[in-house]
Structure 1
Amino acid sequence: MSDEYEIHGPHDHAVEHAGAHSAGPSASRIAVMTAILASIGAIASYQSGANENLALFYKNEAAIRKTEASDQWAYYQAKGEKQNLAELGAALSDPASAAHAKFVADIVRYNAEKEPIRAKADALENESKKDNDVSESLQHQHHRWAQATTLIQISIALAAITLLTRKKWLQTVTAGIALIGIGFFVAAWFGV
């Protein structure tokens, strides 16, 4: 119905007047800063979680490689024990006997079989160390992302309080904490 009339009460005028005059230009700057900080905080929060998941993945891979290396070392040790028994058999047997020749052949065979097992165990331990180092690096970076997220969230909360109290010194504190949070964000981004 186009014939309806709008009737403004005294409170409507007061609300419009307060909204138009009380916020001031600093409120809009704080609102924009809050929106930007919320976006940066969201990115930092996502990266923090992603880094933590990757760190856990590499830590798990390191544990798997360490277990495989342990298995190889046990296999290496078993071959060494068999070689020792063959050496004992060769020492106790008659050098002219067929048993002695078999023991000597076993000594040579076990000695040759041990080297590839040792090399594989060493390689698995090196892989485990590399995966563990990557995990530690990602965990460190995760902490930087988490610190950035926390400081940015604190600055957003302070920005809200600044809007309510209109204290200039609180706005400076808010901006300072936001800058520190952004500093942690940049440090995390570059892996520092």
Structure 2
Amino acid sequence: MSSEGFHVHGPHDHELEHVAEHGGDEFASRIAVMTAIMATVGALFGYEGGATQNNAAMYKNEASIKKTAAANQWNFYQSKSNKQNLAELALILPGADEEKYKAKIARYESEKEQIKQDAEKLEAESREWDHKSEEAMHQHHRWAQAMTAVQIAISLAAITLLTKKKWLQYASYGVAGIGVILAGLAWLHI
């Protein structure tokens, strides 16, 4: 519009004025708003799914570290057993210093017990980390299922806009509801 009162319409101005004066397509508006909400919720589900997957990988890594440490302890235990066996063999040799070798045998036996306890503790910790990893992966799968349901709901909403079928709108909302239920199961670690 110029300062002299002359008004020139752009190609889309008439449509905008019509919508402003007479209201838009309420059906399409509702679907658009619900689609935006579902997309936001789906993004949150996706974030949670990624976070739980990362946790599962970190827990599995920690389990591997503990398992390796346990294997190292068992190797140390085997080394002490070998030394103990050599000391026991030395006892049967003629002229062996029995007191010296008996002391070594006793020392190796007591050292082995502590090493064995440490190895078993590390193995138990490894199993705990494996269990945590499995739980996190289960939770990740629930988040992924929830996100997939929301993505399907968004696709149904798009088809609803094209076909203007009310039953598709309800189907879209129903599938989104299933996604929310799956997310609730993920949140509750079920």
TM over 0.5: yes
Shift of 1:31: 2.1
Distance in 2 between the 1:149 and 1:82 partners?
A: 59
Q: Deviations over 1:116-148 (max 9, x none)?
A: 100110111111111111111011101111111
Deviation, 1:33, is 1.6
Corresponding position of 1:116: 114
Unaligned runs of 5+ in 2: none
1:88 matched to 2:107? The reply is: no
Q: How many residue pairs align between the two structures?
A: 188
Classify the secondary structure of the residue corresponding to 1:2: coil
Task: Quote the residue 1:23 is aligned against.
Answer: 25
Corresponding residue for residue 140 of structure 1: 138
Q: TM-score, normalised by structure 2?
A: 0.89
The 8 Å contact of residues 75 and 117 in structure 1, kept in 2 or not, is answered as yes
Superimposed CA distance per residue, residues 61-105 of structure 1 (whole angstroms, 9 cap, x where no aligned partner): 100110010000010011011111111211x134xx552221111
Inter-CA distance 85–17: structure 2 relative to 1 (3 Å threshold): same
Give the AA of the match of 1:107. I
Contact 1:155 1:178 in 2 (8 A): yes
CA pair 128-9 structure 1, distance change in 2 beyond 3 A: closer
Give distance in 2, aligned partners of 1:9 and 1:166: 29
Residues 9, 121 of structure 1: CA spacing in aligned structure 2 closer, same or farther, 3 A cutoff? closer
Structure-1 residue corresponding to 2:69 = 68
State, as a whole percentage, how many aligned pairs show the same letter.
52
**Gaps (5+ residues) in structure 1?**
none
CA apart distance, 1:29 = 2.4
Partner residue of 1:173?
171
Q: Which residue of 1 aligns with 2:80?
A: 79
CA distance in 1, matches of 2:131, 2:30: 43
Q: C-alpha root-mean-square deviation of aligned residues, in Å?
A: 2.2
